[in-house]
Amino acid sequence: MRSVPLLLIVLSVSFPSLAAEQHRREKVLLASDKKTEITIPSTWEEMELNEAAEIQVGNEKESCFIIVLNEAKEDLYGWNIEKHSRVTLGSLLSSVSLPTVVGPKSLTINGSPAVQYEVRGATENRNVIYLHTTVEGPIFFSQILAWTVPSQAEVAKSKLMKAIASFKESKPPRSK
């Protein structure tokens, strides 16, 4: 009987905790305006995908890409999450050939309401699958646009969804 507890001690010392291992495989990326953040796989890097985006990340080899665009809620008169989602989705659809849209799907992302659509279509002579998500945070309406190609969708969509689920507005620095 004594060997079982000893084995557990040896195993716990020999192998790093799963949480520590997971932490090494992910990194938190703070937006260029320092107002939002997202947790991404450590294999992803910042990229030039959209000049207006506060977050632009991805991995070419994995065919995973995400941009985040924030709009201050106080600047938009009469807007709610549904209107913001429809307007930004409309903008996306104007650049997609033969789009097929599934949604909306209501989500909660880090305590904030969100609306998500899946859009399949073609752009720049490539078939693409977009996950268009609008999050209503305390300060911003944030559009998270993630995409991959159909041949990578099975693996890529789970990575994209995990990153989207980690999105949050950053806490403002404490004043002294």
Question: φ, ψ for residue 139 (rounded to 5)?
Answer: -115, -35
Q: Give pTM, 2 decimals.
A: 0.83
Q: Does residue 3 fall inside a structural domain? A: no
Identity of the amino acid at 99: P
Q: How far apart are CA 44 and CA 62, in angstroms?
A: 9
What is the residue-wise DSSP string for 54-76?
SEEEEETTTTEEEEEEEEEGGGS
CATH of the domain at 133: 3.40.1000.10
Residues 164, 144 contacting (CB under 8 angstroms):
yes
Tell me what pLDDT residue 19 has: 44
pLDDT in tens, the chain (176 residues): 444 444 444 444 444 444 444 446 899 998 988 899 999 999 999 999 999 999 999 999 999 999 999 999 999 999 999 999 999 999 999 999 999 999 999 999 999 999 999 999 999 899 999 999 999 999 999 999 999 999 999 999 999 999 999 999 987 655 44
Q: Count up the domains in the chain and report the number.
A: 1
Question: Helices marked H in 25-132 — which ranges?
Answer: 81-93
Residue 155, in any domain of the structure? yes
Q: Say if 1 falls within a structural domain.
A: no
Q: Is residue 129 part of a domain?
A: yes
Question: pLDDT digit string (tens) for 11-52?
Answer: 444 444 444 444 468 999 989 888 999 999 999 999 999 999
Q: Is residue 8 part of a domain?
A: no
The residue range of the domain holding 27 is 14-169
Is the separation of the CB atoms in 66 and 38 below 8 Å? yes
35 within a domain of the structure (yes/no):
yes
What is the rounded CA–CA span in Å between residue 72 and residue 171? 15
Residues 6 or more apart whose CB falls under 8 angstroms from that of 92 comprise: 119, 130, 132, 145
For residue 170, the model assigns a pLDDT of: 83
